[in-house]
């Protein structure tokens, strides 16, 4: 069987030796790697929002999701708007 060559990982000693080679005030050379941009901050990271779950009939949910997709909207935006409208008394059907 042949030997597998493994790349040697830099150790703490290597980092210490690098610092010793530098003159005082000289910063170690590092490569600047551009970071990937993640998702834009949304409701998940906004402390003024909380996650809530509810049960809907599957057929109703699918139809609502299709309509929301057509309009470029999100389910949470629809529910938020409907709840605000309901709380303001604009919807007069209090039986539901």
Question: For residue 63, what is the DSSP state?
Answer: H
Hey, what are 95's tokens?
A: 């039986």
Measure Cα distances from 73 to 3, 36, 37 in Å: 58, 26, 23
Rounded distance, CA 17 to CA 34, Å?
27
| Per-residue pLDDT of the chain in tens (96 residues, 90 and over written 9) | 566 666 666 566 666 666 667 666 666 666 676 777 776 778 878 888 999 999 999 999 999 999 999 999 999 999 999 999 999 996 555 555
Hey, what are 79's tokens?
A: 């529910």
């Amino acid at each position: 069987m042949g030997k597998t060559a493994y790349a040697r990982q830099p150790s703490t000693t290597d980092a210490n030796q690098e610092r010793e080679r530098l003159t005082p005030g000289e910063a170690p050379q590092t490569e600047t790697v551009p970071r990937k941009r993640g998702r834009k901050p949304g409701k998940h990271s906004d402390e003024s929002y909380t996650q809530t779950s509810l049960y809907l009939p599957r057929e109703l949910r699918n139809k609502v999701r299709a309509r929301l997709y057509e309009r470029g909207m999100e389910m949470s935006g629809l529910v938020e708007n409907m709840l605000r409208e309901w709380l303001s008394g604009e919807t007069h059907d209090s039986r539901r």
